[in-house]
Structure 1
Amino acid sequence: MHHTNTQIGSYFVSRLTAALIPLGLAITLVSLPASAQQTEGFTPEGLIQEILQLNPGLAAQRLETLAREEQIVSAGALDDPRVNYAIAPASIGDNIPSALGDTLGVRQVIQLSQNFPWAGKRQLRTEVAQAQSTAAHLMTQDLQLQLIAAGRRHWASWWDVHQALTINREQQQLLTEQEKVIETQYASGSGLQQDLLQVQTARIQADHRDIVLEQQARRVRARINALRNRPTAAELAATEEQPQPPTLPADTVLHSWLEEANPALRGARAEADAARADRDLTYKNDFPDVQVNVGYNELWNASDLRLQVGVSVNIPLDFGKRSARKAASDYQLNSARTDIQYLHNQLLSELEQALSRAEEAQHAIELCREQLIPIAQQSLTASQSDYQEGIADFSNVIQAEQALLEARLLLSRSMADQYQAHAEIDRLVGGRLWPFEFSGH
């Protein structure tokens, strides 16, 4: 038994050394600053540029914003003037005293009218349109920030799943080679069936993990391509860039940025401004509009009686409709103002949750780099040495390999989680944490 363990253990030493060299390099790269790394392939900046240029939802929202802008000019404009024309059928063929009527052979009535709203109504209509246009602009900004955050989150997931695939395939290769050695020893009668079953079980689990990760990559690719307005199965390049989120300022600074720059919150305030102006306009409708009329009436024989000028006003009687409209406008204004407070609380809650996720991920990253991975490496070396000396079971080697695998996967996942949490924080603070310059049109 000692002789067999020595043979297998010697092989494991060589394989472990070969496996730990790329692992050490990977961990070193993870620890390097962004400026010291090669940036190739599929970058988050390139993905975001594509999304902002090609996403149809953002294009639709931009068009809606342009439409709102155009409505500002017309909101405060006067109504179209009206022209009324009438004839007296019984006068056809009569001796018409006017030259025009005599030429046409009929008496006519022509009237031009123009409606003038009560003072202040046009201004309030313009204010409503301006506030709605501002809200539309802010909705566009909010959607753009959502897409930027989504792009960063999905890019981090794409990086993480490929890191996990690389790590798992190294494990698959190691387990496959271990299985061959133990299988040979077992066939010659110098190995244990239990060792062979253990390494086969670990290899099957690694094979299944590879399938799971491939399907995860497929789902991430579909989400990314949807944002890019591309076919869901369109190929994506791998990414070599390490997730490098910006440093977080103090919580008080982030809260201040949220108050000042979050477009959803600012948009809710603009909607409240529109509701306030609409409420004022509803109350202003208790005052009548004025219609000025200028007409020419050929029913009069005397020429000095034919030109007529007049004024008409509507009588703003209630009959329950005006008080109901005013009550509705009050409710809408109060609803809009309440929405601001509700949204404000929601955003603060989301910010606190994102900060918590970022702190948790940072702790996991430090734990993996400083303790879990070094300890797992030492444990694997020790368990292999003990097995070689015949003082430990092969299961210890398998467990140590699994612990190192899990630590490496945890580091990758935590780096992606931190990047994603910072992307969400950036969205909540209006892009001030992680400014992005869109180079498209």
Structure 2
Amino acid sequence: MFMFGYQNEGFDRYTYGEEQGAQWMFGLSQQFLFPGKRALKGEMAKLDAESQEAMLELLKLKTVSRVKELYLDLFLAHKNIDLLRERRDLFARVESLALIRYGAGKGMQQEVLMAQTEKYMLLEKEVMFKQKIESLEAMLKATIGREGTESLGRPVDISSQPFYYKTQEAVEMAIRNSPEIKSRGKMIEAAETKVRMAKTEFFPDFSINAGYYNRKGDFMDMWSLTSTINVPLYFFTKQAPALSEAKAVHVQAKQELEAAKLMITVAIRDNMSMIRSADTLMNLYNNGLIPKNRQDVDSALSSYATGKTEAVVVLSRLKTLLEYETQYWTQFTEREKAVARLHAITAGLDAKPGGEEK
């Protein structure tokens, strides 16, 4: 800080050079922190910046995971429309058989109406899925920051991603690589630094002041060098509570780190359980229920064409087949979404063999 001014003796006239106390004054003043404070402040700023960088990396991973999940939902909506269109042909075949039987006097009009109703219900579901596609595309565009009204198009076919890590392996790698854990660790270090900083606040800052006083005539110029020390008179009401607060923040940061580790562990176990369940159900649908139900549908259609069964049986088996096929692809997408979430939690964990599968 720079200071300048003039000092005069008396009020009646300008006495510079005539009186001893009349002088022009110039001064410089600089405040200094107590040794160690500046380094601690720099360390706190560095740790806060590193914590924010880790959180930014976490945000990127979560955004990637969100994009993948929306893409998979979009894929499922298109796949459901494909299934509806494929099965609608079978419902139309039942309707055609019902009309033939009714025209020949071998069936009831109710069977025709039932087949037509089921076919129209499939059309209704298709419209609903198209609306869902528009909504998902809007959310996906918002997530990736893309403007425009053009359609994103149909997602390409997706292959199942293998995941070979054991649960404990995935947890350990997540704890080691997770940006959130890194950020929480930096927060703890910053809190420790703030505790040390709060302790140094009990020691006063000081300033050094230099002055020059210009006089004229027979009076010699003068200079001065002084130091000012801030005495912490109110440390019981200011510095001491600040230290207690810093210690509490430090304890809280440690607790938040442990909570983050627990949440990551729970999330990994939950998603890996979802993968195992989806694999089991997909195998059940693909190798058991769907092939068996397709045979039942073919048998029921043949029997209905020859008058050996009723339309309600054929329609029921067709609806069951559609339900199984829909559930298969639902489990497929849920599994892939779980893998995407695991990659986000573990900071891009590669799906490489690391032990027994899952």
Q: What's the TM-score once normalised by structure 1's chain length?
A: 0.73
Structure 2 Cα separation of the partners of residues 324 and 220 of structure 1: 52
Residue by residue, what CA displacement relative to the aligned partner does 1:391-411 show, whole Å, maximum 9, x if unpaired? Answer: 222222212211221121112
Instruction: Give runs of aligned pairs for residues 223-234 of structure 1, distance below 5 A.
Output: 223-231=139-147, 233-234=149-150
Q: Is the 8 A contact 1:379 1:400 kept in 2?
A: yes
Alignment CA distance shift 1:168-1:308 (3 Å): same
> In structure 1, what is the equivalent of residue 273 of structure 2?
356
- 2:243 corresponds to which of 326, 351, 360: 326
1:268 aligns with 2:184: yes
> In structure 1, what is the equivalent of residue 203 of structure 2?
287
1:134 aligns with 2:50: yes
Alignment CA distance shift 1:95-1:266 (3 Å): closer
SS at match of 1:366: helix
More displaced 10-residue stretch of structure 1: 82-91 or 153-162: 82-91
Structure 2 Cα separation of the partners of residues 244 and 280 of structure 1: 52
Q: What's the TM-score once normalised by structure 2's chain length?
A: 0.89
Residue by residue, what CA displacement relative to the aligned partner does 1:227-272 show, whole Å, maximum 9, x if unpaired? Answer: 1223485411101221432423122220111111111121111111
Give 1:117 shift. 1.3
Q: Is the 8 A contact 1:361 1:417 kept in 2?
A: yes
Q: Is the 8 A contact 1:221 1:232 kept in 2?
A: no
Structure 1 Cα separation of the partners of residues 169 and 189 of structure 2: 27
> In structure 1, what is the equivalent of residue 7 of structure 2?
88
1:156 aligns with 2:75: no
Q: Is the 8 A contact 1:225 1:233 kept in 2?
A: no
Give the length in aligned residue pairs: 347
| Cα RMSD, aligned residues only | 2.4
Q: Is the 8 A contact 1:248 1:433 kept in 2?
A: no
> In structure 1, what is the equivalent of residue 326 of structure 2?
409
Residue by residue, what CA displacement relative to the aligned partner does 1:120-152 show, whole Å, maximum 9, x if unpaired? Answer: 111111110111011111011000000011111
> In structure 1, what is the equivalent of residue 356 of structure 2?
none
Structure 2 Cα separation of the partners of residues 274 and 232 of structure 1: 44
> In structure 2, what is the equivalent of residue 36 of structure 1?
none
Structure 2 Cα separation of the partners of residues 302 and 218 of structure 1: 94
> In structure 1, what is the equivalent of residue 95 of structure 2?
179
> In structure 2, what is the equivalent of residue 438 of structure 1?
none
Residue by residue, what CA displacement relative to the aligned partner does 1:323-377 show, whole Å, maximum 9, x if unpaired? Answer: 1111111111111111111121111111111111111111121112111111111
Q: Is the 8 A contact 1:179 1:200 kept in 2?
A: yes
Alignment CA distance shift 1:387-1:172 (3 Å): closer
Letter in 1 for 2:338: A
Structure 2 Cα separation of the partners of residues 177 and 222 of structure 1: 37
1:345 aligns with 2:262: yes
Alignment CA distance shift 1:374-1:302 (3 Å): farther
- 1:381 corresponds to which of 286, 298, 309: 298
More displaced 10-residue stretch of structure 1: 368-377 or 300-309: 300-309
Residue by residue, what CA displacement relative to the aligned partner does 1:26-67 show, whole Å, maximum 9, x if unpaired? Answer: xxxxxxxxxxxxxxxxxxxxxxxxxxxxxxxxxxxxxxxxxx
SS at match of 1:129: helix
Give 1:177 shift. 4.6
Alignment CA distance shift 1:292-1:374 (3 Å): same
Q: Which has the higher contact order (CA 8 A, sep 6+)?
A: 2
SS at match of 1:226: helix
Give 1:322 shift. 1.4
Give 1:201 shift. 2.6
Q: Is the 8 A contact 2:163 2:351 kept in 1?
A: no
> In structure 2, what is the equivalent of residue 51 of structure 1?
none
SS at match of 2:308: coil
Instruction: Give runs of aligned pairs for residues 105-116 of structure 1, distance below 5 A.
Output: 107-116=23-32
Give 1:287 shift. 0.7
Letter in 1 for 2:283: E
> In structure 2, what is the equivalent of residue 193 of structure 1?
109
Alignment CA distance shift 1:320-1:400 (3 Å): same
> In structure 2, what is the equivalent of residue 37 of structure 1?
none
SS at match of 1:293: strand
Q: Is the 8 A contact 2:8 2:14 kept in 1?
A: no
Bigger helix fraction: 1
Letter in 2 for 1:341: E
SS at match of 2:17: coil
Q: Is the 8 A contact 1:175 1:199 kept in 2?
A: yes
Q: Is the 8 A contact 1:179 1:199 kept in 2?
A: yes
Structure 2 Cα separation of the partners of residues 202 and 337 of structure 1: 59
Letter in 2 for 1:133: A
Give 1:179 shift. 2.2
Alignment CA distance shift 1:193-1:110 (3 Å): same
SS at match of 2:123: helix
Letter in 1 for 2:189: D
Structure 2 Cα separation of the partners of residues 268 and 216 of structure 1: 38
Give 1:157 shift. 0.7
Letter in 2 for 1:326: L
Give 1:165 shift. 0.7
Structure 1 Cα separation of the partners of residues 219 and 326 of structure 2: 99
